[in-house]
Structure 1
Amino acid sequence: MVKKIDEVIKGETEKVILLQMNNDNEHWIPKSTIKSNYNSVEGTKQSFIIDSWILEKNKVLA
């Protein structure tokens, strides 16, 4: 199962991206769990389709 979220990229490495959530929390998300294309430009809000399990593990989803 996947979820669509709209967030801002704050940082990136070869295997993960750092997303700033609406509540200003930041979470490292493995690129392998992101199912949508995205622009690697930092600071731009965009949509991501991400595996639900990683969002639940990081407590992004209530």
Structure 2
Amino acid sequence: MGIVKIDDELHEEARRASTVMCRSINAQAEFWMKIGMLSEANPTLSFNEIVKMQFSAAHVRLPEIAVA
């Protein structure tokens, strides 16, 4: 584990987002970093595609939504 220095304003945004997403500030920052790395490695994928790919890799079953 290490220490990462981030801008105070970005830290405040992570704090706010972590409250909404029910994550710790560290978990929120880690999530953003992971998604950012995956986005850079896969520039043609959308955020939703990346999240779906991560759910699939973790063997999370997502319910299908019926469209009328």
Q: Same fold (TM over 0.5)?
A: no
Instruction: Say which structure, 1 or 2, has more relative contact order (CA 8 Å, 6+ apart).
Output: 1
TM-score (normalizing by structure 1): 0.27
TM-score (normalizing by structure 2): 0.25
Kindly indicate which of the two structures has a greater share of residues assigned to helix.
Answer: 2
